[in-house]
Amino acid sequence: MSRSTPRTDTEHSRREPLGRRFHTLLGAMGSGNLGDGIAVVALPWYAATLTGDPFQVALVGAATRLPWLLFALIAGVVGDRVDRRRLMVAAAGVKGVLLMALTAVIALGAGSIPLLVTITLLVGTCEVFFDNTAQAMVPTLVPRSRLERANGYLQGVERVLDKFLGAPLAGMLLALSTAWAFGAQAALILSAMVCLLGLRGDHRPAMAGERGPGILLMLREGLAWLWHHPVLRSTALLSGASNLAAAMMAAVLVLFAQDVLGVGPQGYGLLMTVTAAGAVLGALVVPSFSGRIHPATALIVILVILGTTALTVGLTRDVAMFVVCYLITGFASMWWNITLISLFQRSTPDRLRSRAFSAHRTLSWGMLSVGMALGGVLASALETTVGREWALAAPFLAAGTMGLALSVVATLVLTRKVVDQALVEAESA
């Protein structure tokens, strides 16, 4: 088999429909994404009405991400043992009930930070099972040649509904009352559950129904498979390091915008939409050319782009340049996501897909909190030495240098030969 075999035939893929089943999943994910966009604004807002302590407010925010570290691996095991559609329906149903309970608590004026953290952790756990399982289902719903376009739709819908529509909708709902905001989120996730009930077909993974190994052995098998895979191990480590770099910048971004670029709150809000706009553009454009660029080449080019834009932001003090760089960053990040998720889905057998994806995401997303801490520590440590302006620029410079270094590493470990061989083996498995 030639090396070109595993690559996407773009013209052929454009003619293949994604199908009604995929659009049902897309509708369910879109409804959930819109609800999540409301929560991004409503959750910290409600927390701030309960306490003025920054640590407690931050604790609520941390509770939204913690389940990915605690339960993603378990979600992967469960997703490889049961019908995935039913698992998503159950996760959406439980999440909806929890949000309805939170709405009632808020309406009664009985909220507290400990209760909010508890409910947020439980809701976040449901999201882990829901989102992780959805990614594992995609390759069973669309032709392999259409994975890039399917993932582009999913990523694009997520960004549009989460960033562009969810936030302003949350503002309007909060103007009515906080209970309205969380009630709307509950209604949206329950509508996603209803949508999934209409998804026909058998969605059990290859090993479902068999008397297979126990949970711990399945977990170990998924981790071992990912770690010994020559491509996915490398992409997991590269994703983790890249996320660490991105989080370093995010940790000081609001201060950089205020004190270095000199923008106010409205300007900062507009700046933050730039990345989302770039990501949406990427979701629309990337699938049209992804089949003509080898995945290994694409990932290396993206790391160069991310490193270059981070260094440019750190070295310049111009708002217009910041906008251009973050627009490119949003585009490149979406290109990375579509390429990597599609490569992962093609390389992973169905019986291992949920476990391997959860292990990959745990490793890559686990570095976000580390990067946030490093960015803050770096800026704080340098302020007395180089001044506030360069101290706030330091995380951008460090992230940019790291991105370029990662592109060199990717060139060495993610060669076309290695990636092609992995895809050929996946095709023949």
Task: Enumerate the domain spans of the chain.
Answer: 1-8+16-209, 213-429
- Residue range 1-8+16-209 in CATH 1.20.1250.20: yes
For residues 272 and 331, give the distance between their C-alpha atoms in angstroms, rounded to a whole number: 14
Residue 276: closest CA among 93, 33, 67, 7: 33
pLDDT in tens, 144-203: 778 888 888 888 888 788 777 887 788 788 888 889 999 999 999 999 999 999 887 777
Q: What is the mean pLDDT of residues 98-117?
A: 93
1-8+16-209 and 213-429, same CATH topology: yes
Q: Model's pTM, two decimal places?
A: 0.72
Q: Residues 207-244: pLDDT tens digits?
A: 555 555 667 787 788 788 888 888 989 999 999 999 98
Residue from 181, 219, 183 nearest 46 by CA: 181
How far apart (Å, rounded) are the C-alpha atoms in residues 151 and 160?
A: 14
Separation CA 101–CA 108 (nearest Å): 11
d(CA 3, CA 209): 36
Query: Residue 12: its pLDDT value, please?
Result: 47
Q: What angle do helix axes 353-365 and 232-255 make, rounded to 10 degrees?
A: 40
The topology (CATH level 3) of 213-429 is Growth Hormone; Chain: A; (1.20.1250)
Alpha-carbon distance of 364 to 358, in angstroms, equals 10
Euclidean distance between CA atoms 309 and 422, whole angstroms: 31
- Tens digit of pLDDT for each residue in 119-147? 999 999 999 899 888 888 888 888 877 88
CA atoms of 19 and 34, how far apart (whole Å)? 23
Model confidence over 261-305: pLDDT tens digits? Answer: 887 755 666 777 788 888 889 888 988 888 889 999 999 999 999
Q: Please tell me the distance from the alpha carbon of residue 149 to that of residue 153, in angstroms, as a whole number.
A: 6
4 falls in which pLDDT band (50, 70, 90)?
very low
**What is the C-alpha separation between 214 and 285, in angstroms, rounded?**
43
CA distance 130 to 323: 34
